[in-house]
Amino acid sequence: MLASLMLSSLAWAAALPPEMPIFKYKGIILDDKDLRYNPHQDLIFPSVIAAHDCFISPLGRYYLYYAPHDAPGGICLAFAGNPAGPWHEYTNNPIITREWPTNYKVSHVSGPHALWNPDERKLFLYYHGENPVTRLATSTDGIHFHYDGAVVHTGMFQNVSEASYGRVFRRELPGHAGEYVMLLMGNNQGIRRIYLATSKSGREWEPRRAPLLDPPPGTDQVAGAWYLSRGGKHYFVAHANNSKAGFNQGYDLYLAETDAAFEHINYLGKFMDRTFVSPTNEGVMSPCFFQEQDGAIYLFFNIGARLRNKIALAIAQPAGQAPTQPPGNSR
């Protein structure tokens, strides 16, 4: 049985485009049992930045933002001297809570995504709470934040009841004046799909009302999309599952190729099978790719059963042609 699982895992890896990095699993880097702030034994949606390139005297060279899924949620911070760890919990987590007096009071906040804005010299942190609203907070030190408001909501899209788990990238699409794109999850009448919005500043967003990415073949839910540019080609990596087989399990990472305008989608199959972690692992979700100057690529993701996740790490050395741009928010 173990041998057949290993062969199955090797099959999806061998089918990847040659320019894709090959990852080696390194293990869990954040475990709920080791944390002071731990309302639900659940950690999701990692987002990593090079803090030493952004802030004066940061706690560590690298910052990792994450959150529990369920209420009360809370945007949390960990720091490290090396992206491989060890990672240390910030002592005053959560740094953003479900209540921000005079701004909002919601059941939970979750799904953080951090992006350095070089024009404003500020960290832009996107997160949701409630699920129909994506919010923005900004910071000059990555710890203390100013609330900037709700930037994306369900009314911007067609027949959508959630607009959350947004990932933001510096990327100018042909025919758009904006320098930023947001890939977010929308609940479209019970089916979660990926939607697109563009922005000139990272503050005001113009939506593409129709879905960008449907669930891959064999699945009926997709979320947590990340944009990769490699070898002059454009890709999305997102987690997906078949909810009919069990909503809290069976999550794999899938790969799709797109054109420069993000208009045409070609599904390529699995990017990473959940058994990459172990034969009994129930999910790999919410990928965050981070590239160092030496070319090493760090993949942060949550693993395990949904609502009982831990944050794990895999590392790849460059394979094939190097990326035409860093795959994510490395600088």
Top-confidence residue, 18 or 125: 125
Cα–Cα separations (whole angstroms), residue 258 to 49, 172, 227, 324: 26, 14, 10, 15
> Does residue 321 fall inside a structural domain?
no
Which residue bears the tokens 């090079």? 50
pLDDT band at residue 15 under the 50/70/90 scheme: confident
> Does residue 326 fall inside a structural domain?
no
Geometric angle at alpha carbon 151, from 112 and 106, rounded to 5°: 65
Judge residue 148's burial from the number of C-beta atoms within 10 Å of its C-beta, 0-12 exposed, 13-18 middle, 19 or more buried: middle
Average pLDDT over residues 88-107: 98
Q: Please choose, from the candidates 163, 200, 197, the residue with its C-alpha nearest in 3D space to the C-alpha of residue 183.
A: 197
Q: Please choose, from the candidates 22, 61, 78, 10, the residue with its C-alpha nearest in 3D space to the C-alpha of residue 310.
A: 78
Give the number of domains in the chain. 1
Span 138-151, pLDDT tens digits: 999 999 999 999 99
pLDDT band at residue 6 under the 50/70/90 scheme: very low
Between CA 175 and CA 177 the distance in angstroms is 7
Least confident range from 156-165, 247-256, 321-330: namely 321-330
Average pLDDT over residues 179-192: 96
Mean per-residue pLDDT of the chain: 91
Using DSSP's 3-state secondary structure scheme, residue 10 falls into: helix
pLDDT band at residue 175 under the 50/70/90 scheme: confident
> Does residue 209 fall inside a structural domain?
yes
> Does residue 118 fall inside a structural domain?
yes
> Does residue 329 fall inside a structural domain?
no
- Would you list the DSSP string of 70-84? STTB-BEEEEESSTT
Using DSSP's 3-state secondary structure scheme, residue 155 falls into: helix
> Does residue 122 fall inside a structural domain?
yes
Q: What is the pLDDT of residue 5?
A: 41
Q: Which domain holds residue 167?
A: 2-316
The CATH number for 86's domain is: 2.115.10.20
Average pLDDT over residues 4-32: 77
Q: What is the pLDDT of residue 264?
A: 96
> Does residue 282 fall inside a structural domain?
yes
Q: What is the pLDDT of residue 293?
A: 86
Q: What is the pLDDT of residue 323?
A: 39
Q: What is the pLDDT of residue 13?
A: 66
Buried/exposed code over 219-228 (b: 16+ C-beta within 10 A; e: otherwise): bbbbbbbbbb
Least confident range from 33-42, 122-131, 239-248: namely 239-248
Between CA 176 and CA 158 the distance in angstroms is 21
Model pTM score: 0.92
Span 217-275, pLDDT tens digits: 999 999 999 999 999 999 999 999 999 887 667 899 999 999 999 999 999 999 999 99
Top-confidence residue, 106 or 15: 106
Question: Token pair of 329, please?
Answer: 């928010």
Average pLDDT over residues 10-21: 76
> Does residue 323 fall inside a structural domain?
no
